[in-house]
Amino acid sequence: MAEPAATGGVATHCPYCALQCGMTLRSRADGGVEVAPRDFPTNRGGLCQKGWTAAELLDHPGRLTTPLVRDSKGGPLRPAGWDEALARIVDGIGALRAARGPDSVAVFGGGGLTNEKAYALGKFARAVLGTRYIDYNGRFCMSSAAAAGIRAFGVDRGLPFPLADLAEADVLLLAGANPAETMPPLVRYLTSQRERGGQLIVVDPRSTPTARHASLHLAAMPGTDLALANALLHVAIVEGLVDRGYVDARTTGFDRVARVATGYWPERVERLTGVSAADLRTAARALAGARRAVIVTARGAEQHSKGTDTVSAWINLALALGLPGRPGSGFGCLTGQGNGQGGREHGQKADQLPGYRRIDDPRARAHVAAVWGVDPADLPAAGVSAVELLDRLGTPHGPGALLVFGANPVVSAPRARRVERRLAALDLLVVADFVRSETAELADVVLPTAQWAEEDGTMTNLEGRVLRRRAVRRPPPGVRTDLAILADLAARLAPGSPAAGSVPAGGGALAGGAPGRAEAPGPVTVPGTPAEAFAELRRASAGGPADYAGIDWERIDASDGVFWPCPRPDHPGTPRLFTERFATPDGRARFVPVEHRPPAEPPDEAYPFLLTTGRVLAQYQSGAQTRRVAALNRAAPGAFVEVHPDPAALLSIVDGDPVRVVTRRGVIEVPARVVDTIRPDTLFVPFHWPGAARANSATTDALDPTSGMPEFKACGARLERAA
């Protein structure tokens, strides 16, 4: 079941962020599990506080070990056996599908699921249920960066180069990234870069711990990163800093982008962003003059209704300076969730099939359908983004059932009160989790699932490095893995079973999601073990942009992971993309002209601040895991709002006062944290907590039209003293 680490114990990876730090797990005599850091390229023997305490969740007293069911809407959840719980699910799905077709059921996944589980979930949704309604919480993370990367480079891989390149950069620019709190072991690379004499430029409205490492901090107003990037490009063009040889040989579309950049002279952009013209010129000259320069974006630049265009603006700057594909230089994005990269490669995203194939590509459909043993015509069409999916739940023409694996949208989704109402309107809500999360508390059926240290599989980190997760022990009695649950549900829902009704496995949704033929080509199975799932994933991904065909567990075990694409067993993997050509039809990268526009909801007289949200060091995502670890709760016991001393004084607010952050959608009730590390026009609230402190009660669900990313980082707000 598990391979030993070189020093004894089981070598695996942290269950949290996309660094996927190496760790060793050992079973203790008392039945608990001990964590020790492992020398791995991403963490170099270090762990953050979350990693050190990760094993405490395995034996948490609130852990679920039996299914729960609700006998009636509004009634309590009660323990039930697996057969009863699964029968409730199958009966509910069967009734909905028979009455309204396959699109009456939706699936919502998570960026923390292993590659095998993400693959199985996509197959289950499309080939067993036949629904086009599948998406995942990674839509809230990397979707804008992915969309921008695909249209510029032809492929999306968070970092198309090894993480170690950051330490070797003469100039490193981080736009909207705060790894000192979100990925603490990465700071070792920043420290190494500084010790080498490198410059760090940070773009962030707050003076975060990362920004305090910087040589130059550009404190731009939230939502203005696009204008700032265009201004740096303007300086590069005007001052003759563009790498014309690179632009002419390796790109297309520069002239159109150059015409747009003429409108972004530094003095104009200073008025838009609040960053001085002098600092804009300094940043552009530093990047252009460096022998090795790297530009990296993260959520601060991406979680906007223009997030894709903002990332494109940074890509345009990188291309103009000749960075992507140049040894020691490049452009990348910091993936957030543990398997945010692999989770979007293999089928959880609404428009994608395994291998990062597009679901509207006939050749991609034919390839995957052959692996799955279904007719390509029976695969559904593309669905909708996560926010749009959640908004359709329980409506007359939307899904009546939702299955949630590895996500907690009641806390993590924008406009969260509306999400609660939509979940309550469902005929059937099923949540697979290891604790009673805020979303599980609303469910009709809750299924207890295995945790990270109790199952094997693979993860793909922010570099595109495919890693092995290994089990140190088996799940507790009564707990099943997500793969086992999906395999069992697939068998019960297979064509010919009572629950399947007359709807075939792939409901013919290319014709709009209506019920398809009366007879299906045969039962579709979902692999129930990680080894089976990975073997099938390799075949399904073969020939796609994210090609895993040449990767197997043995190769990973013999190395520090294998970088995709890796199309053959004798292929070495691809640590660095774009060294010779880009993944576009002509091999050239594409410049994309983009213009600044304000947030969907800018400040006004009634809501004079910009509310932005983010994370803190000791908590993670919706907090379902970290809020159950005592040491992490002591370090970060609750939410707060950061406010600058000047507006605090005007409102007679002092540090610690209870306040209300009010937007057009809702109210957040938290204590004030009066700090001089934030812009006077900006409020910051972390989003890890539920209840009255839930940040996403107030955020807007305005979406990026290309990526479907919600605008978590900017909306009009006001601040009030609480009664």
The pLDDT value recorded for residue 222 is: 96
CA–CA dist 272, 263 (Å, integer): 12
Q: For 663-702, how does the pLDDT look when each residue is reduced to its tens digit (9 = 90+)?
A: 999 999 999 999 999 999 999 999 999 999 999 999 999 9
Q: What letter would DSSP give residue 442? A: G
The pLDDT value recorded for residue 499 is: 52
- Omega before 396 within 30 of 0, i.e. cis: no
Q: For 86-107, how does the pLDDT look when each residue is reduced to its tens digit (9 = 90+)?
A: 999 999 999 999 999 999 999 9
Segment 319-344 shows an average pLDDT of 94
Q: For 570-579, how does the pLDDT look when each residue is reduced to its tens digit (9 = 90+)?
A: 999 999 999 9
Per-residue pLDDT at 376 exceeds 70: yes
Write out the two tokens for 414. 């924008």
CA dihedral 499, 359, 520, 371 (to 10 degrees): -110
| DSSP E strands, 210-271 | 216-218, 251-252
Segment 538-560 shows an average pLDDT of 96
β pairing state of 428-433 and 401-405: parallel
Residue 4: how many other CB atoms lie within 10 Å: 12
CA–CA dist 122, 138 (Å, integer): 14
Residue 424: how many other CB atoms lie within 10 Å: 13
The pLDDT value recorded for residue 523 is: 83
pLDDT band at 8 (very low <50, low <70, confident <90, very high): low
φ and ψ at residue 468, rounded to 5 degrees: -105, 125
Q: For 444-485, how does the pLDDT look when each residue is reduced to its tens digit (9 = 90+)?
A: 999 999 999 999 999 999 999 999 999 999 999 999 999 999
CA–CA dist 482, 461 (Å, integer): 21
Burial of 680 (0-12, 13-18, 19+ CB in 10 A): middle
For 711, the 3-state DSSP assignment is coil
CA–CA dist 217, 204 (Å, integer): 7
Segment 76-90 shows an average pLDDT of 98
Per-residue pLDDT at 504 exceeds 50: no
The pLDDT value recorded for residue 31 is: 85
3-state secondary structure 85-105: HHHHHHHHHHHHHHHHCHHHE
Per-residue pLDDT at 372 exceeds 80: yes
φ and ψ at residue 711, rounded to 5 degrees: -90, 75
CA–CA dist 201, 386 (Å, integer): 33
Residue 28: how many other CB atoms lie within 10 Å: 9
Write out the two tokens for 502. 């007359």
Q: For 220-241, how does the pLDDT look when each residue is reduced to its tens digit (9 = 90+)?
A: 999 999 999 999 999 999 999 9
Mean pLDDT of the chain: 94
Per-residue pLDDT at 173 exceeds 60: yes
pLDDT band at 496 (very low <50, low <70, confident <90, very high): low
Per-residue pLDDT at 500 exceeds 60: no
Question: CA nearest 243: which of 137, 148, 316?
Answer: 316
Contact between 354 and 346 (Cβ < 8 Å): yes
CA–CA dist 584, 589 (Å, integer): 7
Per-residue pLDDT at 515 exceeds 60: no
Write out the two tokens for 266. 């530094």
CA–CA dist 492, 86 (Å, integer): 9
Query: pTM score > 0.85 for this model?
Result: yes
CA–CA dist 91, 554 (Å, integer): 41
DSSP string, 98-136: HHH-GGGEEEEE-TTS-HHHHHHHHHIIIIII--S-EEE
pLDDT band at 336 (very low <50, low <70, confident <90, very high): confident
Contact between 507 and 131 (Cβ < 8 Å): yes
Segment 484-505 shows an average pLDDT of 72
Per-residue pLDDT at 616 exceeds 50: yes
Give 507 or 37, the one with higher predicted confidence. 37
- % of the chain residues with pLDDT over 90: 93
CA–CA dist 627, 618 (Å, integer): 9
Q: For 51-76, how does the pLDDT look when each residue is reduced to its tens digit (9 = 90+)?
A: 999 999 999 999 999 999 999 988 99
3-state helix, strand, coil in the chain (%, to 5): 35, 15, 45
The pLDDT value recorded for residue 506 is: 44
Give 723 or 426, the one with higher predicted confidence. 426
The pLDDT value recorded for residue 509 is: 35
CA dihedral 281, 284, 289, 290 (to 10 degrees): 130
- % of the chain residues with pLDDT over 70: 95
Per-residue pLDDT at 586 exceeds 70: yes
Write out the two tokens for 580. 């010779």
Write out the two tokens for 439. 């979303």
Q: Give me the half-sphere count of Cα atoms (radius 13 Å) on the Cβ side of residue 122.
A: 38
Q: For 381-426, how does the pLDDT look when each residue is reduced to its tens digit (9 = 90+)?
A: 999 999 999 999 999 999 999 999 999 999 999 999 999 999 999 9
Segment 699-715 shows an average pLDDT of 96
Whole-angstrom CA distances from 661 to 666, 686, 710 are 8, 12, 19
Q: Which amino acid is at 135?
A: D
Contacts of residue 83, defined as CB under 8 A and 6 or more positions apart, other chains included, come to: none
Enumerate domains of the chain plus CATH numbers.
10-59 (2.20.25.90), 68-140+340-521+530-563 (3.40.50.740), 159-334 (3.40.228.10), 609-721 (2.40.40.20)
β pairing state of 465-469 and 457-460: antiparallel
